[in-house]
């Protein structure tokens, strides 16, 4: 790996298709980040196997072992990130709400992908929300993570049309194809320092 590449920890909870798109992008010699660790809060998910296929180190911190104590789970996660000398945290289908303790610790160094054109359609079932709202365009956003859910400053967005006959699955597939291009592009912006969180806004250049 080239010197100076940011060491990225990708947090997942499932299939990990966005993680795969990041791992593929990071194979380019001039990509400014390396995927140093893939961590799941659920044991034995497909994404962990896919990460191992890339030769990436993996870890599991099972949130169920910590009961209702979210911060204890996060302290254990944070310790694994620290041991692996992680510079940037990338949430990719990570299905745990993070407490202000963890978010503050990683503020400006943690990004998430959300399958909607934020600030529209926060939370879950975003494709259903878009269809019910009758919008003509939908898409995905990569944003810095702040304590309020899905409210962080947006780094990049990609749009797709909503087509006649769309259902949730069709729309989700169209958005996911864009996610797989958008996330590597956004991580490159952050890892290279071209996009930074300063004073609650994204500074570019």
What is the closest distance, in whole angstroms, from the C-beta atom of residue 49 to ligand GRF in the complex? 13
Q: Is 63 a catalytic residue?
A: no
What is the closest distance, in whole angstroms, from the C-beta atom of residue 46 to ligand GRF in the complex? 8
Nearer to ligand GRF, 62 or 69 (CB): 62
CA distance 202 to 195: 6
Q: Do residues 198 and 12 lie in contact, with contact meaning Cβ atoms separated by under 8 Å?
A: no
Q: How far is CA 81 from CA 35, 111, 159, 188, in A?
A: 12, 15, 33, 20
Closest CA to 77 of 111, 44, 106, 34: 106
What is the closest distance, in whole angstroms, from the C-beta atom of residue 44 to ligand GRF in the complex? 14
Q: How many residues belong to the site for ligand GRF (CB under 6 A)?
A: 13
Q: Tokens 């890339």 appear where?
A: 54
Per-residue binder mask for ligand GRF (CB under 6 A), 157-196, x = binder: -------------------x--x-----------------
Residues 108-127 that bind ligand GRF (CB under 6 A): 113-115
Question: Could you list the active site residues?
Answer: 114
């Amino acid at each position: 790996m080239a010197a100076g590449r940011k060491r990225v920890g990708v947090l997942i909870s499932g299939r990990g298709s966005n993680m795969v798109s990041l791992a593929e992008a990071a194979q380019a010699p001039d990509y400014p980040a390396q995927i140093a660790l893939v961590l799941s809060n659920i044991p034995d998910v497909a994404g962990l196997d896919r990460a191992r296929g890339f030769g990436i180190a993996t870890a599991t911190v099972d949130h169920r072992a910590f009961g209702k104590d979210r911060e204890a789970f996060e302290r254990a996660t944070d310790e694994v990130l620290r041991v692996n000398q992680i510079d940037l945290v990338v949430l990719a289908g990570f299905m745990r709400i993070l407490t202000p303790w963890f978010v503050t610790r990683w503020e400006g160094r943690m990004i998430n992908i959300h399958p909607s054109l934020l600030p529209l359609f926060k939370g879950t079932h975003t494709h259903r929300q878009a269809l019910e709202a009758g919008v003509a365009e939908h898409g995905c956003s990569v944003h810095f993570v702040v304590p309020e859910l899905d409210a962080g400053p947006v780094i990049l967005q990609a749009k797709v049309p909503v087509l006649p006959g769309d259902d949730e699955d069709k729309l989700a597939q169209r958005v996911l194809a864009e996610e797989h291009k958008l996330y590597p592009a956004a991580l490159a912006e952050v890892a290279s320092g071209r996009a930074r969180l300063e004073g609650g806004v994204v500074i570019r250049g």
